[in-house]
Amino acid sequence: MDRYRQLWRYTQGDLPEIEVPILLQRGESCAQKIQANHHELRTVTKRIRYSGPTASIRIMKGVKWRVGDIGVSSVSEDVLKLLDSGTLYFTTKRLIFDGAKKTTSIALKKVLNFTFYANALVIEKDTGKDQVFENISQDQDMLDAILEGLLTKDRNR
């Protein structure tokens, strides 16, 4: 029962505060941090060419009959592209991803929705591409309650 009380308190905005090695804004505190891989959906276009046998038969001078198809087409698909690996911080004002290559910040005001999957967190933003954080090994119920509490607290300001 203690666990469910704690989860309920988190969803209501009564969040923990932890010390973090990064600088935060004035009045900002961190509620949780996790290790994750940052991905983004990217559209990849591939050209497909026919590479089978073709033949050309001469019918008369200047006229040939070609057998085989050489049509070129393109196929587009959305794929997850790994951008970086690092630490994702859940703060009272934003989500901060501190990666090896670069740091990314998502203001809580820009978050429309979030979804937890078996091993990933998808952040849907009002502008720009959705962000995917994968390889999450911590308790997802706890992270869900903390993120819900942060968004509720931010929207009530």
CATH of domain 2-42+78-155: 2.30.29.30
Q: What share of the chain is helix, strand, coil (3-state, %, to 5)?
A: 20, 50, 30
Digit-coded pLDDT (tens) for 85-143? 999 999 999 999 999 999 999 999 999 999 998 889 999 999 888 999 998 877 888 88
- Domain range list for the chain: 2-42+78-155, 46-76
Which tokens belong to 28? 């900002």
**Which residues have CB under 8 Å from 124's CB, separation 6+?**
111, 112, 113, 114, 115, 130
Q: Count CA atoms within 13 Å of residue 46 on its CB side.
A: 6
Mean pLDDT of 12-24: 87
> Is the pLDDT at 6 greater than 90, yes or no?
no
Taking the CB of residue 119, how many other CB atoms lie within 10 A of it?
13
Which tokens belong to 10? 């988190």
* Range of lowest pLDDT (22-26, 60-64, 94-98, 129-133): 60-64
